[in-house]
């Protein structure tokens, strides 16, 4: 994180990355002094409403983040930034996305958690688009020409007002990670009771085990001994009303719909109180560790792995076989995971895996047979990418 004082003093001349978060209400024009070098600009966590036309002078700018500000209109000047590839305006108050606001080279657009009711046709004219996050808006339809986004690989349209399944998306040739729950067309009025309800007062949270877009997972113990549950469990407490992947309540329901599988995190109970939504799960043994890491700004949609990380061929084949079984189990239950990645997979030294994080999962039993087949085909691409990534780790 940088400071305005550093910027104004000239201390940051030549920097390629700038991050400012000081409740700024107006764009600091001193940023323009970095026009010869600045590639990444992060203005998240301020109180900005507009960007100046002079932003286009930042000729090397590739990435801009302005999440958690006060924008009501996606600034048109973004479309004039000739090298801009990634635009992130999550959690603003954006209602309008002008035709001219989308850069020609755009490949990654994040407009999650805004108030957008419609999108411009120019969205379908961005052939480099790979990753598009639109969850948590008020979209009732999508541009038909999004069928031209032949390089789109990851799409989030959950938690909107889409009344019909957007057919123009289902045949996109590279789409592999697709989240669409929480729309009228995918409404699943289910109240699955495969596990019991417990009170949030029945347990005590301890150290955090992990967290993602939809919630925080902690180790927990019981206030009083429980005969039917282990002494220690893992509890995912969902946060907020909407996340980058959709509604937490949909995640809870889809976890229960999927049921038990030896390679999935095992659900034990649920909490559905007005101020607490949580899933109580079996604790994963300590010797399991992450199989991969999330995509980077450069890899965009593909997992990343530590340098030098390799696996023997027999372990790779075992991991792949288990993930193929998980895939078939999910789709037998008419669930699309939406985030089938190594970074959502834990493994041990024997090559056993546990797969989780259903934040982007969507039920699709309400769709037509043709649509269901296309949804499964989309996620089959994610499975193929997973297999390719695993085979690239071969030690031989």
For the annotated binding site, the residues are: 236
Phi first, then psi, for residue 104 (nearest 5°) are: -60, -35
List the binding residues for ATP. 236
Q: Is the distance from CB of 340 to CB of 383 less than 8 angstroms?
A: yes
Is 194 in a helix, a strand, or coil?
A: coil
What is the CA 365 to chain-centroid distance, rounded? 23
d(CA 68, CA 79): 21
d(CA 314, CA 70): 52
In contact, 37 and 15? CB cutoff 8 Å: yes
- Cα 179 to Cα 69, 161, 231: the distances in Å are 25, 14, 35
Edge-to-edge strand list for the sheet holding 215-222: 203-211, 215-222, 232-238, 276-282, 267-273
271 contacts 256 by C-beta, under 8 angstroms: no
Show Cβ contacts of residue 53 under 8 Å, excluding neighbours closer than 6 positions. 77, 80
Instruction: DSSP letter for 304, please.
Output: B
Return d(Cα 198, Cα 200) in angstroms, integer. Answer: 7
In whole angstroms, what is the distance from residue 52 CA to residue 63 CA?
Answer: 16
Rounded to whole angstroms, the Cα distance separating 225 from 232 reads 10
- Neighbour tally for 116: CB within 10 Å: 19
């Amino acid at each position: 994180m940088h400071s305005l004082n550093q910027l104004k003093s000239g201390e940051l001349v030549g920097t390629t990355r700038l991050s400012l978060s000081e409740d700024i209400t107006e764009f600091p024009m001193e940023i323009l002094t970095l026009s010869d070098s600045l590639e990444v600009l992060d203005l998240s966590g301020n109180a900005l409403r507009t960007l100046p036309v002079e932003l286009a002078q930042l000729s090397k700018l590739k990435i801009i983040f302005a999440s958690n500000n006060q924008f009501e209109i996606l600034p048109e000047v973004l479309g004039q930034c000739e090298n801009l590839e990634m635009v992130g305006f999550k959690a603003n108050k954006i209602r309008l996305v002008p035709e001219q606001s989308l850069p020609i080279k755009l490949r990654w657009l994040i407009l999650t958690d805004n108030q957008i009711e419609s999108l411009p046709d120019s969205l379908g004219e961005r052939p480099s688009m790979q990753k598009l996050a639109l969850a948590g808006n008020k979209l009732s339809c999508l541009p038909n020409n999004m069928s031209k986004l032949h390089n789109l690989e990851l799409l989030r349209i959950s938690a909107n007002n889409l009344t019909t399944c957007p057919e123009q998306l289902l045949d996109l040739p590279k789409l592999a990670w697709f989240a669409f729950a929480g729309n009228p067309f995918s409404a699943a009025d289910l109240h699955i009771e495969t596990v019991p309800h417990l009170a949030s007062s029945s347990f005590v949270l301890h150290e955090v085990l992990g967290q993602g877009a939809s919630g925080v997972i902690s180790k927990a113990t019981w206030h009083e001994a429980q005969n039917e549950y282990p002494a220690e469990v893992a509890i995912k407490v969902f946060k907020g009303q909407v996340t980058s992947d959709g509604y937490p309540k949909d995640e809870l329901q889809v976890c229960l719909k999927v049921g038990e599988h030896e390679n999935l995190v095992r659900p034990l109970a649920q909490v559905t109180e007005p101020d607490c939504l949580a899933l109580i799960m079996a604790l994963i043994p300590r010797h399991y560790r992450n199989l991969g890491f999330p995509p980077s700004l450069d890899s965009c949609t593909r997992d990343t792995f530590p340098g030098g990380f390799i696996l023997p061929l027999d372990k790779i084949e075992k991991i792949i076989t288990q993930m193929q079984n998980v895939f078939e189990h999910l789709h037998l239950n008419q669930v699309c995971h939406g985030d089938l990645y190594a970074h959502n997979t834990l493994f041990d030294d024997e090559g056993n895996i546990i797969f989780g994080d259903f934040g982007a999962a969507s039920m699709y039993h309400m769709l037509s047979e043709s649509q269901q087949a296309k949804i499964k085909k989309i996620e089959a691409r994610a499975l193929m990418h997973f297999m390719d990534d695993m085979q690239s780790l071969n030690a031989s």
